[in-house]
Structure 1
């Protein structure tokens, strides 16, 4: 079984490293549904000078060739990662594999369930090529979801109030590992 760094937040990033006194270029590519992954990407960006973020749902991704590190992350919603992120990985697989890669997901599970979601989120080739992999916790904010989602969550899952497992310090540690 693949070993993962278990943290409690979700984010997508590209990291910086030192080569011949130059800071390498890093890109943080992510998708988010309700903003938790975007918040995490911002924390990673703040910890990696010069990092660039790209929300695949809102903007076109910069040319991957311009970056040394690419961090890819997304949130799990209804058991799946967003289709935009899956499509990005599939369409860019051959350009991503030679890069320094980091992968992460944001989800509400821990342990084996979270690891299963990670394994299903990314193609095997990317998981094997990634230098840093992590599973972060997430947030469930009842005031951000629609009535039907709220009903299902309260009735069938039993969640009656908003839940946060967001840990900014875990994200900063993840970014530090990317910069080593």
Structure 2
């Protein structure tokens, strides 16, 4: 929050200081309109190509599809954890013993790359839950909070699973009080007072 990027994402003070209060409002209006205008519609040929891709993919047998049907799915997002720490040791001591034990019982994908942008943490949540790239500028958590999301949690709920989205930090951080209920059948975010006690 104290970094330059944090102040630009969560506060317009930077723009108000540069452009004045009215200028900051105009900047925000122009940025919003440019984002709306810049979204081009797909042509009929592009739509047909996408439909053909998914139709062909639906016909292909996906390797391992349904392999874990009926099993529990747990997604843990660990802030600022780097992949090399999983399985690594220092002086014979495991760095991540709990995660190592989980990995031994799970499907593990170690070739994941960072595709987050200005939304950082919230971009990671969005990418994992929606299987889509986040926005190149700004955060989906704020700029597209009113969207209707179809997440992995929705697919699991349709298959008979109960889903829960939980986070131990403040409800307003990255707009989780709005987004978590939209991405799972049940959501839990702590209140500001309980977050301070952690």
Could you state the TM-score of these two structures normalised by the residue count of structure 2?
0.28
Greater C-alpha radius of gyration:
2
Structure with the larger RCO, 1 or 2 (CA within 8 Å, 6+ apart): 1
Could you state the TM-score of these two structures normalised by the residue count of structure 1?
0.30
